[in-house]
């Protein structure tokens, strides 16, 4: 809580530098600093969760206020976690999909095309071309020795 107060004090100082005569009473920043902002009737008012009704969730686990964060995450200070806030009694928040629906459509299209290509290649997998004269790897040698078109059966 101390860090939040320090950050708010820094913001107040920055606003005092930029607006030396002060902010007007209707300004949202001033109302936020004085904790008088009225969000009733606005969309932003629906997303405000009171501190007493809030629950923190991480990795499908509820983070209890009585425990330390290191009990959940570990002792590594460089660990970065993304915590979700939920109202008390609503349970764990829904998991986010690993990939978006657009990416999923692209992947399905790619794999469908790949499967069609493999089917076409499998249909054209005949070895009849290997018996043709241009595929004979000893044809050049036989041509130079003059032994082409030798038949072993009598005519």
Residue 10 is predicted with a pLDDT of: 92
What is residue 87's DSSP assignment? Answer: E
- Sheet with 61-63: strands ordered across: 61-63, 54-58, 84-87
Mean pLDDT of successive 10-residue segments in the chain (155 residues)? 87 91 86 76 70 85 88 87 86 84 95 94 76 80 80 74
pTM over 0.75: no
In whole angstroms, what is the distance from residue 74 CA to residue 89 CA?
Answer: 27
- Rg of the Cα trace of the chain? 37
């Amino acid at each position: 809580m101390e860090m939040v107060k320090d950050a708010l004090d820094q913001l107040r100082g920055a606003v005092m530098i930029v607006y030396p005569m002060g902010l007007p009473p209707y300004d949202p920043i001033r109302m936020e600093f004085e904790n008088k902002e009225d969000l009733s009737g606005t969309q932003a008012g629906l997303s405000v969760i009171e501190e007493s009704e809030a629950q923190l969730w991480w990795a499908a686990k509820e983070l209890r206020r009585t425990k330390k964060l290191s009990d959940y995450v570990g002792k590594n200070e460089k660990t970065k976690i993304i915590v979700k806030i939920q109202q008390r009694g609503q349970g764990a928040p829904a998991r986010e999909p690993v990939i978006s629906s657009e990416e999923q459509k692209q992947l399905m299209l790619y794999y469908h095309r790949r499967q069609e290509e493999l089917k076409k290649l499998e249909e054209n997998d005949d070895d009849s071309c290997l018996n043709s004269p241009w595929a004979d790897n000893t044809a050049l040698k036989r041509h130079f020795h003059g032994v082409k078109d030798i038949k072993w059966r009598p005519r």
